[in-house]
């Protein structure tokens, strides 16, 4: 009997000791509910005090990793966040994340994943609200690692997390690290076999294409943007920002691949959208107009580009003012359009205005001034107005030497251009030192087959020919010949000119044997490539005939002369 009584009493004691915990648990639930209710109705002080009481009860009655403790922390963090007390909310969300991570242990069940990922998402969201983007990105990457561990259970979460991370990286302009995430988002959407992810698909396609465009991988961007545009047009209003984003990027991808005809209709469509949504005099409309004009110019459709460039200028001048430095680019483009159409007077007036704006700008940029001087000088050179071109090139040279240094490749270009102006005026003595200096820079800074190097070599060779300085011309001719043999091949027709010129120099210096060998080699290359009656043979046959006559080989000279006359008769000038 005593034993039975002791058992009954022990049971009663157990019940009496356990009862308060059950009551406290119910009290916690009620407190947490009321805290959220007060918060919902805007009773901020009441909600905060009640949430703190609920958290205290949870700590007293449950272990530190219990769901109820985490729930109370979340309620309190929500209240702090609504009051913009982000530091306090952040500390609580970090504690929740720690609780969830520590509760996982060795096994990752779906519930553990859901709770832990939710806690980390809340923390990432708070970081984003505070502008702590690197911290938000770091936390989202942790969430995505959790997604990987339960891959296939809930693709919706994976798609959402990847989209959020990509959105964050887009905002930060951090495309370069996102390529694998863009690709994974597309793959996950594909695996889900759902048609409800058009926005996410376009986000990934446009983002990945944007990254490829930044990396100049235009061919890889093109199919992504074509696909995005097809989705946009189906699911969105045709003037929706998502559509214009895809159009702009695809037009750019086409443009930089030289697919100007494919770019044109997209740019026209963008212009129409901009005119409708922003107005015909908006800065965005001016941008689209300019892009369309640039496409026409690359297609050599300068007459069509001209009115568009004029309209672009009018819009920008109305927004910025006619003397604003940013107007210069539009003026330069318009001048190019005039120049290409042979409208030199119109081009000249525009280029003079461009130069004046650049020189009078309070933020004067010497590099821009040098470019404008050279543009105007090029126009004068084309019109054979060499005296007008000369002072502009002299001034541009001085500016480039000052800002780039005396041995910069651009300085060599200036030297070569100024020398060419002197050459056209038969001012060989002034041109020679400029070309010698330009060549010295070219040989240090450019590849051996660079066209600037070849051009300056040929200009200096012409000076030495004109002054009968054959010994000075010889090493330059040998250099040109070696460059062309290396880049074009030893039997390319283009090197016959080099062979003929070098042979002529040898002949003038009395080195007849060397000259004859080069003339013969030039003849053989032409015959091998074009046959034995090609007109390019005529000057070489005549030169070799003169050489043979000079060295007493009169019969050979006669035969070559007759052959040259016969070929020339087939090609009357």
The 10s digit of each residue's pLDDT in 211-254 is 899 889 999 999 999 998 888 655 555 666 778 889 999 999 99
Confirm if 434 and 419 have CB atoms less than 8 A apart. yes
Asked if 170-257 and 484-573 have one fold, the answer is: yes
Q: What is the mean pLDDT of residues 504-509?
A: 94
The tens digit of pLDDT for each residue in 76-96 reads 989 988 989 989 988 988 888
Which tokens in the block code for residue 343? 């409208």
CA 497 to chain centre: 41
Q: Is the pLDDT of residue 22 over 70?
A: no
Average pLDDT over residues 397-417: 94
Give residue-wise pLDDT tens across range 302-329.
Answer: 999 999 999 999 999 999 988 887 889 9
- The whole-number average pLDDT for the span 528-556 is 93
pLDDT digits (tens, 9 = 90+) for 324-357: 878 899 999 999 999 999 999 999 999 999 999 9
Tens-place pLDDT, residues 142-169: 888 887 776 655 677 888 888 888 888 7
Is the pLDDT reported for residue 535 higher than 70? yes
Higher per-residue pLDDT: 386 or 34: 386
Q: Looking at the predicted structure, is the pLDDT value of residue 67 above 80? A: yes
User: Residue 464's pLDDT is what?
Assistant: 92
pLDDT-based confidence at residue 171 (cuts at 50, 70, 90): confident
Give the Cα separation of 56 and 54 in Å (integer): 5
Residue pair 55/72 in contact (Cβ under 8 Å)? The answer is yes
Predicted pLDDT at 232:
61
Q: How far apart are CA 57 and CA 231, in angstroms?
A: 53
Q: Please calculate the CA angle 558-560-562 and round it to the nearest 5 degrees.
A: 70
Confidence label for 175 from pLDDT (cuts 50, 70 and 90): low
Answer yes or no: is pLDDT of 12 > 80.
no
**Residue 562 reports pLDDT greater than 90:** yes
CATH class of residue range 484-573: mainly alpha
Task: Judge whether residue 268 has pLDDT over 50.
Answer: yes
| CATH class, 170-257 region | mainly alpha
The angle that helices 327-340 and 344-360 make with each other, rounded to 10 degrees, is 160
Beta strands in 75-208 (DSSP E): none
Residue 4 confidence (pLDDT)? 37
443 has pLDDT over 70:
yes
Other CB atoms within 10 A of residue 173 CB: 9
Write down the residue that tokens 């997604």 correspond to: 147
Q: Does the pLDDT of residue 104 top 60, yes or no?
A: no
The structural domains of the chain, with segments of one domain joined by +, span 170-257, 484-573
Three-state DSSP state, 275 = helix
pLDDT digits (tens, 9 = 90+) for 450-477: 888 888 999 999 899 888 999 999 999 9
* DSSP codes of every residue in 414-438: HHHHHHHHHHHTT-HHHHHHHHHHH
For 353, residues 6+ apart whose C-beta sits below 8 A from its C-beta are 331
Tokens of 486: 């290396």
Lowest mean pLDDT among 189-193, 271-275, 422-426: 189-193
Range in 49-53, 202-206, 518-522, 532-536 the model is least confident about: 202-206
Phi/psi class of residue 237: alpha, beta or left (left: φ > 0; alpha: ψ in -120 to 50)?
beta
Q: Over the stretch 473-505, which tens digit does the pLDDT of each residue have?
A: 999 999 999 988 988 899 999 999 999 999 999
Q: Are 260 and 298 in contact (CB under 8 A)?
A: yes
Q: 507 pLDDT band (50/70/90 cuts)?
A: very high
């Amino acid at each position: 009997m005593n034993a039975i009584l002791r058992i009954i009493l022990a049971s009663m004691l157990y019940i009496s000791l356990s009862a308060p915990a059950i009551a406290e648990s119910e009290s916690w639930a009620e407190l947490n509910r009321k805290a959220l209710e007060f918060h919902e109705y805007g009773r901020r002080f009441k909600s905060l005090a009640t949430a703190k009481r609920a958290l205290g009860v949870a700590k007293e009655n449950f272990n530190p990793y219990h769901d109820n403790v985490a729930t109370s922390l979340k309620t309190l963090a929500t209240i702090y966040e609504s009051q913009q007390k982000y530091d306090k909310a952040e500390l609580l969300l970090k504690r929740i994340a720690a609780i969830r991570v520590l509760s996982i242990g060795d096994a990752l069940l779906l519930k553990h994943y859901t709770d832990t990922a939710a806690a980390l998402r809340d923390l990432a969201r708070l970081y984003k609200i505070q502008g702590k983007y690197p911290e938000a990105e770091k936390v989202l990457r942790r969430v995505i690692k959790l997604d990987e561990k339960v891959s296939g259970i809930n693709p919706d979460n994976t798609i959402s997390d990847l989209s959020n991370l990509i959105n964050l990286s887009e905002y930060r302009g951090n495309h370069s690290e996102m390529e694998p995430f863009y690709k994974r988002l597309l793959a996950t959407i594909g695996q889900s076999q759902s048609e409800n992810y058009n926005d996410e698909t376009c986000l990934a396609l446009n983002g990945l294409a944007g990254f490829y465009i930044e990396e100049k991988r235009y061919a890889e961007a093109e199919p992504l943007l074509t696909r995005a545009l097809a989705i946009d047009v189906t699911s969105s209003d045709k003037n929706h920002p998502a559509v214009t984003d895809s159009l702009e990027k695809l037009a750019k991808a086409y443009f930089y691949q030289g697919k100007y005809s494919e770019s044109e209709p997209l740019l026209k469509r963008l212009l129409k959208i901009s005119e409708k949504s922003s107005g015909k005099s908006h800065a965005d409309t001016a941008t689209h107009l300019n892009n369309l004009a640039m496409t026409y110019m690359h297609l050599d459709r300068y007459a069509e580009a001209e009115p568009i460039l004029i309209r672009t200028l009018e819009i920008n001048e109305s927004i910025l003012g006619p003397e604003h430095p940013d107007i210069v680019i539009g003026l330069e483009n318009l001048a190019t359009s005039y120049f290409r159409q042979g409208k030199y007077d119109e081009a000249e007036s525009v280029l003079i205005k461009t130069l004046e704006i650049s020189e009078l700008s309070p933020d004067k940029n010497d590099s821009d001034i040098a470019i404008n001087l050279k543009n105007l000088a090029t126009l004068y050179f084309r019109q054979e107005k060499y005296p007008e071109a000369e002072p502009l090139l002299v001034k541009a040279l001085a500016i480039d030497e000052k800002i780039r240094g005396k041995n910069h490749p651009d300085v060599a270009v200036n030297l070569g251009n100024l020398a060419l102006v002197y050459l056209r005026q038969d001012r060989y003595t002034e041109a020679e030192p400029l070309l010698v200096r330009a060549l010295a820079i070219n040989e240090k800074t450019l590849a051996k087959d660079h066209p600037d190097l070849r051009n300056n070599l040929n200009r200096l060779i012409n000076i030495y020919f004109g002054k009968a300085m054959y010994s000075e011309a010889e090493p330059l001719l040998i250099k040109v010949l070696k460059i062309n043999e290396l880049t074009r091949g030893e039997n390319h027709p283009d090197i016959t000119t080099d062979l003929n010129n070098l042979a002529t120099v040898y002949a003038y210096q009395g080195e007849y044997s060397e000259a004859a060998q080069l003339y013969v080699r030039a003849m053989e290359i032409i015959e091998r490539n074009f046959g034995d009656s090609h007109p390019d043979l005529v000057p070489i046959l005549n030169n070799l005939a003169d050489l043979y006559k000079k060295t007493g080989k009169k019969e050979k000279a006669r035969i070559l002369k007759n052959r040259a006359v016969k070929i020339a008769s087939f090609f009357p000038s």
